[in-house]
Structure 1
Amino acid sequence: MNRGPVVLTIDEAEWLLDQIPPPDKDEDMLVKKLRSKLSELLTELRKGAEGTGK
């Protein structure tokens, strides 16, 4: 599979995550993987966001 970088702001990543329907037990594996990666991205983005304490 080919891969390439995608640059997103916190707002853009949150919006994308909101567009994916809530998890379902019969969820497609690709959707589960995408939701997981977006959640990880948000966690990392928030760690380095301006105005957050370290």
Structure 2
Amino acid sequence: MRATYSDAVEMAADMGFRMYMQDYFARPGAEERYLGLMLENVDVDLIGVGPGS
């Protein structure tokens, strides 16, 4: 499981995303925008990766 998570983190980094919370990834500068949209209940496209997604 750890290897899979590590692979996902590496793949996200390769695509320009960085981890900014325990399990949230965003491109630099977009972290606050996403959280703001979630607080306003705005529909956004998301991708879930992992056993609990």
- Give 1 or 2: higher strand fraction: 2
Query: Does TM-score exceed 0.5, indicating one fold?
Result: no
- Give 1 or 2: higher helix fraction: 1
Larger of the two Rg values belongs to structure: 1
Query: Which one scores higher on RCO, CA 8 angstroms, separation ≥ 6?
Result: 1
TM-score by length of 1: 0.30
